[in-house]
Structure 1
């Protein structure tokens, strides 16, 4: 069975029937049975349906998981694979030839039955020929309903200038980055694989446990300072130390979420739960579900949850058309609130991120209480229950023992909560910094994984002694190529990645922290100006449409 050779047409038919078919190392995997149990969520798998997911899968999974995946192999392909657009991204698939033949027979039978019917009922307008509908509408233009006017207005309010911006951005990327020809992209992938082998040979996947020992000492000192200040009634200072503690903890939780510490899934997951849930009040399971999708469809406005912040932020004009998020399964309405907030987003960027942690609590509980998001069975079935225990523990020690029992007045409690949460703002800036100013263009199905990661991600340069402040997140370009490398080794890996980029001709984006912030603010300001243009186009189109109808 696993030696069966599948043609492209057969795989298309299987996907049309709802099968979750993925290509990895020339093997055909049917992931239907695994979809509900995948610890990283179903969305990351759905974005790989119909695609060669070899590089994405290797980058995000441990060696033991790659071995486990073999149980889902149903066959293999011959030659190179040309990607389909996954159904979750709007891909259309033809059913298998057998199914099509059966449908044709059914349609012919239905047609014969319909022609022999003695019914004389008038045809339903739903099935009226298009020409007939057009003729009826032409003869009744004087009685255009308000509903049809609104429909026509909606169709008219997609300014050509927005399409021109999209085309210009794509053209800019095509000019800056290597050709999308299959030959060029295969060359890049081959060099990327060689780079991975060099990093392994250099020992950069090996965890520097001594570095984590230093981290543990730093965490203990900061947490002790928080408790000491709390004990002596210095609530504002105590909150500041707690915020720094949370800020530092996230970096190790990030490593654990990528299985980059011990490289054992359950051990690293447990470390991540203890840090994120028990000590930080955030769900590591939610973060994995979100972050895995981010690593696969980086900077895609329709699919990457890490850049889907409407109504507060939009880093692309494409959000103006009220895109549907495949991650959140809802339309991100570009309504009046969004139009106002995004017009001033370059001013609101830092104030909003200052309170970003409160939103993470909501997302964490939404994930843990959802009947579908967190796996209920499979190898990670117990993670949800451990996370729930961690959440209760967190709110007991933070909410009850610290805020309620240890701080006497409401005003002091409010100050403590606000300061402890606002101190983590640089983390949210750091997270967005490496992507908000980068490309959001879709260059098609032939673009390779390494080129897409480097086109949508930038590094932030800083002195080595400041690495503990940035926590490895300043090496996002390196991290996106090799997410399982421990963060303490990313600086050493950077020189290998730079050499790779020079070899294959991919620009390596790196800015200083200040420059990076300027780039982000510049992008937000640019999109804010596009909102004004968009609104002017809307008003102009609406005026022309109304005047045109009044002329009738």
Structure 2
């Protein structure tokens, strides 16, 4: 039998196939046409579009279990990448993943889900008891605190179910996502998947990562002062006089805004679910939101007067601000860049754009495993119970390749974040960078 001759294309030729209607990627040197697959990809089309026209091996390995590789065959174009190379960092990363697979760490989820579910039931039960069965003002406020902590723990559980299967089947896992996200927190799991997968792939890209696009209220870099186009939202991130005013005081408004940041998540949920954009399981997501906006207002209505109702909601939102702040600490003070993510520097980009939060093991429940932010970004399918165990190997790999591994205390991470916001705020007050202003802005900022 004659030997089959391989067909090759160069990286430059691959780059030409980088549009939604002509989308090719390379994995392990083999070229795949994923134009049609991107439309039904469970992780959404945006991560694939962001990596279009280039090698995406490390990202593919990070997000997919081994049993997914077989589905690539039907997408194979017949071409191989002529100048395919693997960097030393990527080779070590892939070796580490293979070793983890052999050790079964991706399948060893521990009993974290059971513990989390029990804890959530206790928190919500105590909240319900405090509101429905007690008439004391302080008990009602304590109930609001418990509800806030319950939402935090539910969010961690929803996050876990979105990255790996925490239930016995995919159907039950999807049910857990809808219950945890939509029904209990009012935040759509469809919205979370849409933004979160894009964030992972384009970690800390100012124009591709939605988690850094918070104008007009926050800007972590002066690069956002030049009207960047959000490749995620498909619109211009306008830095006008309104944005300049709020950014110029962002180091003062950061924590107050975080206290009501949950309102923005509700708004974003409604904007997505009732948009023309294709939303997976739209009906289930809307039904889950309807469940939340039934039980939550009903619970609040049982409080005796409007003062307590408003305070109850504010208290619960302020508690969840701890989690919103934590998410910012993991990335705001890290390195940022402008442009699309590149598939051949996956490990480097994750180390550059993430910051870990150092804490004792007994506090892991509080941070939901996301204090190991770098480990989570490198191995998003890894159960949270395994993150602390794999951390030493990640640190060793970073040290070997002279890459940053930043692990700060919760207090230190807050200080770094506020310094980053203050630096950008002072830059925003620089009149050498003109934007449309009004007299109010000039009056407030004349004396810095």
Question: One fold, TM greater than 0.5?
Answer: yes
Between structure 1 and structure 2, the one with the greater Rg is 1
Task: Tell me which residue corresponds to 1:480.
Answer: 377
C-alpha distance in 2 between matches for 1:505 and 1:16: 35
Task: Tell me which residue corresponds to 2:390.
Answer: 493
C-alpha distance in 2 between matches for 1:514 and 1:16: 43
Q: Which stretch shows the higher mean deviation, 60-69 or 356-365?
A: 60-69
C-alpha distance in 1 between matches for 2:5 and 2:234: 37
Task: Tell me which residue corresponds to 1:428.
Answer: 324
Task: Tell me which residue corresponds to 1:385.
Answer: 283
Q: Show structure 2 runs of 5+ residues with no match.
A: 436-448
Q: Deviations over 1:246-295 (max 9, x none)?
A: 01111111111111525865443321111111111111111011011111
Q: Deviations over 1:100-148 (max 9, x none)?
A: xxxxxxxxxxxxxxxxxxxxxxxxxxxxxxxxxxxxxxxxxxxxxxxxx
C-alpha distance in 2 between matches for 1:56 and 1:369: 31
User: Is the CA contact (8 Å cut-off) linking 2:30 and 2:76 kept in structure 1?
Assistant: yes
**Counterpart check, 1:201 vs 2:94:** no
Task: Tell me which residue corresponds to 2:445.
Answer: none
**Counterpart check, 1:27 vs 2:30:** yes
**After superposition, where does 1:229-240 map in structure 2 within 5 Å?**
229-231=130-132, 232-233=134-135, 234-240=139-145
**Compared with structure 1, are the counterparts of its residues 3 and 328 closer, same or farther at alpha carbon in structure 2 (3 Å cutoff)?**
farther
Q: 2:213 aligns with which of 308, 326, 335?
A: 308
**Compared with structure 1, are the counterparts of its residues 403 and 446 closer, same or farther at alpha carbon in structure 2 (3 Å cutoff)?**
closer
Q: Which stretch shows the higher mean deviation, 285-294 or 211-220?
A: 211-220
Task: Tell me which residue corresponds to 2:174.
Answer: 269
User: Is the CA contact (8 Å cut-off) linking 1:21 and 1:50 kept in structure 2?
Assistant: yes
**Counterpart check, 1:299 vs 2:204:** yes
Task: Tell me which residue corresponds to 1:439.
Answer: 335
Q: 1:13 offset after TM fit, Å?
A: 5.0
Q: 1:69 offset after TM fit, Å?
A: 3.6
Q: 1:14 offset after TM fit, Å?
A: 4.6
Count of aligned pairs between the two proteins:
426
Q: 1:214 aligns with which of 115, 122, 130?
A: 115
Q: TM-score, normalised by structure 1?
A: 0.73
C-alpha distance in 1 between matches for 2:6 and 2:231: 33
**After superposition, where does 1:83-482 map in structure 2 within 5 Å?**
186-231=87-132, 232-233=134-135, 234-262=139-167, 265-375=170-280, 383-399=281-297, 401-404=298-301, 406-441=302-337, 445=342, 448-482=345-379
Q: Deviations over 1:45-97 (max 9, x none)?
A: 1101101111112212233444334332222314434xxxxxxxxxxxxxxxx
C-alpha distance in 1 between matches for 2:212 and 2:35: 28
C-alpha distance in 2 between matches for 1:342 and 1:206: 44
- In terms of fraction of residues, the more helix-rich structure is 1
Q: Specify the SS of the correspondent of 2:434.
A: helix
Task: Tell me which residue corresponds to 1:72.
Answer: 75
Q: 1:386 offset after TM fit, Å?
A: 1.7
**Compared with structure 1, are the counterparts of its residues 398 and 66 closer, same or farther at alpha carbon in structure 2 (3 Å cutoff)?**
farther
User: Is the CA contact (8 Å cut-off) linking 2:55 and 2:344 kept in structure 1?
Assistant: no
User: Is the CA contact (8 Å cut-off) linking 1:353 and 1:428 kept in structure 2?
Assistant: yes
**Counterpart check, 1:507 vs 2:408:** no
Q: 1:365 offset after TM fit, Å?
A: 1.6
Q: Deviations over 1:11-49 (max 9, x none)?
A: 455557941111112222212212322232221111011
C-alpha distance in 2 between matches for 1:329 and 1:10: 26
C-alpha distance in 2 between matches for 1:459 and 1:34: 34
**Compared with structure 1, are the counterparts of its residues 491 and 260 closer, same or farther at alpha carbon in structure 2 (3 Å cutoff)?**
farther
Q: 1:353 offset after TM fit, Å?
A: 0.8
**Compared with structure 1, are the counterparts of its residues 14 and 438 closer, same or farther at alpha carbon in structure 2 (3 Å cutoff)?**
closer
Q: Which stretch shows the higher mean deviation, 461-470 or 208-217?
A: 208-217
Q: TM-score, normalised by structure 2?
A: 0.89
User: Is the CA contact (8 Å cut-off) linking 1:23 and 1:29 kept in structure 2?
Assistant: yes
**Compared with structure 1, are the counterparts of its residues 358 and 65 closer, same or farther at alpha carbon in structure 2 (3 Å cutoff)?**
farther
**Compared with structure 1, are the counterparts of its residues 294 and 277 closer, same or farther at alpha carbon in structure 2 (3 Å cutoff)?**
same
